[in-house]
Structure 1
Amino acid sequence: MNEVRYLFVDGYNVINSWEELRQLKDTDLEEARYKLIDMMIEYVTLKGLETYVVFDAHYVKGSFEKREKYKNINIVYTKEGESADCFIEKNIKDMAKKGVVAVVTSDYLEQRIIFQMGGIRITPSEFLSDIKNSKKTVKEKTTLKYTDKKNPLEQYIDEKTLRKLEKIRRNL
């Protein structure tokens, strides 16, 4: 099976599914959006995904589609009358021809449509678990990298030079 190349996230759907973000949303919606995006940055970088986080603005009178790029994440606010689901469906068609597309949503109808279009669905809880596991993996790798050996110099010099250095060290 091919690896996922594109990731679409139904922003408000995920915010409402994750307890921490749901609580934050009640006091500061904008901060909840930024926190979601910040939580995703390391994950999508590690996975090498072209990522779109889509927020509904279809109930906002007179709103136009707005796109931003923050680090390696494309942020989309839909236009009036267009839901995040609609935007995602419209874009999956084109991107599925170029590579595997995954969509993060808990919307059952949207999940079925994604499957029919050849995409993969990820539930918000699975996505949160993936993000946490990725952070753990990165932490473990960086910890191992820096604690592997007491003296990484051993990796870069020949044995004869190493013995001479050891002799000098002992004579000090």
Structure 2
Amino acid sequence: MKTEAAARELPATPVLVVDGHSVVFAWKELRELHARSPNQARHLLTERLRHLHDSGAWSVILVFDGRFGSRPDRIQPASDDMVIAYSSPDCTADSLIEGFVARRKDRQRVTVVTADQAERRTIEALGAWCSSPEWLSSALGEEQGNLVEALGRVHRKARW
């Protein structure tokens, strides 16, 4: 019989942890937007990931480097909502991600998206998976295609 704490530790869906700024600077569109408006670039990435999270395919955690004020120095997923975390000023997003992975008992269910090769080696050494920002772009495109296809089926059924 699972305890409530154990149930929280082992989510029904795999966990996707995204190094936000790594992805922003890896994707040309977001990199160019970030040069004009960093907040808009972060918002656009957040919205794209929210669709993936809401699909139920992944439990998404988006991590950004914090720059201002007091921010969390630990990722605390507390519900079914997508988690957006900012590191504290004296901590990096990489450190936050590494700490999150290190505390997980189910590391094989965690995938970290980053373009940082040193971070990839650290995460893989901890026992989690890594994927590239390019893979994430492809996964988001595939998820969007699945949504369009599902909506088309619903629309066709509704017409009959």
Query: What is the RMSD computed on CA atoms of the aligned residues?
Result: 2.4
Change (3 A) 1:50 1:150: closer
Structure 1 segments unaligned to the other structure (5+ residues):
152-172
Q: Measure how far apart 1:107 and its partner are.
A: 0.6
1:22-44 CA deviation, whole Å, 9 max, x = no partner? 11101110111010000111112
Give % identity: 23
Match of 2:71 among 58, 65, 71: 65
Q: What is the DSSP-based 3-state SS (H/G/I as helix, E as strand, rest coil) of the residue aligned with 1:138?
A: helix
TM-score, with length taken from structure 2: 0.80
Q: Measure how far apart 1:148 and its partner are.
A: 4.5
Match of 1:54 among 49, 63, 66: 63
Q: What is the DSSP-based 3-state SS (H/G/I as helix, E as strand, rest coil) of the residue aligned with 2:112?
A: strand
Match of 1:27 among 27, 36, 40: 36
The question of whether the paired residues in 2 share the 8 Å contact of 1:6 and 1:49 is answered with yes
Q: Which has the larger radius of gyration?
A: 1
Q: Measure how far apart 1:19 and its partner are.
A: 1.0
Q: What is the DSSP-based 3-state SS (H/G/I as helix, E as strand, rest coil) of the residue aligned with 1:47?
A: coil
The one-letter code of the counterpart of 1:65 is R
The question of whether the paired residues in 1 share the 8 Å contact of 2:108 and 2:128 is answered with no
Q: What is the DSSP-based 3-state SS (H/G/I as helix, E as strand, rest coil) of the residue aligned with 2:18?
A: strand
Q: Measure how far apart 1:72 and its partner are.
A: 2.7
Change (3 A) 1:98 1:117: closer
The reply on whether 1:11 has 2:17 as its aligned counterpart is no
